[in-house]
Amino acid sequence: MERLKDLAENLILQVEHQAEKKDLLETIFNMVRVLTIESAVVKAEIIIDQIPAVVEETQPKVVDALSLNEVLRGVEEDLSVRLIHSNIQSLREAIGINERFIYVEKLFGNNIERFLKVIERMDKAGSYEASEQVLIEELTLHMPDDASPILIDQLLSLVRRRFPSK
């Protein structure tokens, strides 16, 4: 019982002096060993009640504030989501140069004139369904063998942004 009391006092001193975790764990392990081996249960409740208070005092205070990185990451995600879902005024203007080359090569058999005519017709179609129909008609007539369904879907996603549902 006396040994347990000494260990508890030692633990309190170690915590107050910010001892290394290894030393704290060793003292706690010795306390558990004394409790189990010597069966000194009588005053264990008092000692156990003191430990959480001491440990709580030494815990670092965590502030629930966002870091600058988290704040900027949130803004960036919001901006990217807004840009992806924003309406576009013209398919021709919305298709970037890299996409244009890919569409011309993979969907229109390297025929830039046909691509431009189809995009112009799709722009003037007036609705998503009509624009989609223009693309389907063109691709069923002249689609290359290696046309990618992914590219067709990407082009149709631009059409959805051009003619959003009301």
Closest CA to 104 of 149, 141, 151: 151
Please compute the mean of the pLDDT values over residues 39-58 and round it to a whole number: 59
Look at residues 58, 75, 98 and tell me which one is the last residue of a structural domain: 58
* Residue 42 or 161, more confident: 161
pLDDT band at 45; cut points 50, 70, 90 = low
Whether residue 124 lies inside any domain: the answer is: yes
What's the whole-model pTM score?
0.50
**Same domain membership, residue 97 and residue 153:** yes
Give residue 144's domain range. 88-162
- Tens of pLDDT, residues 89-142: 899 999 999 999 999 999 998 999 999 999 999 999 989 999 999 998 988 888
Per the structure, the count of domains in the chain is 2
Taking the C-alpha atoms of residue 70 and residue 91, their distance in angstroms, rounded to an integer, is 35
Whether residue 75 lies inside any domain: the answer is: no
Whether residue 73 lies inside any domain: the answer is: no
Instruction: Yes or no: say if 103 and 148 are a contact pair by the CB < 8 Å rule.
Output: no
User: What value does the mean pLDDT of the chain take?
Assistant: 79
State residue 57's pLDDT score.
62
Instruction: Yes or no: say if 4 and 47 are a contact pair by the CB < 8 Å rule.
Output: yes
Look at residues 58, 73, 98 and tell me which one is the last residue of a structural domain: 58
State residue 30's pLDDT score.
77
**Same domain membership, residue 102 and residue 51:** no
**Same domain membership, residue 100 and residue 45:** no
DSSP letter for each residue of 88-101: -S-HHHHS-HHHHH
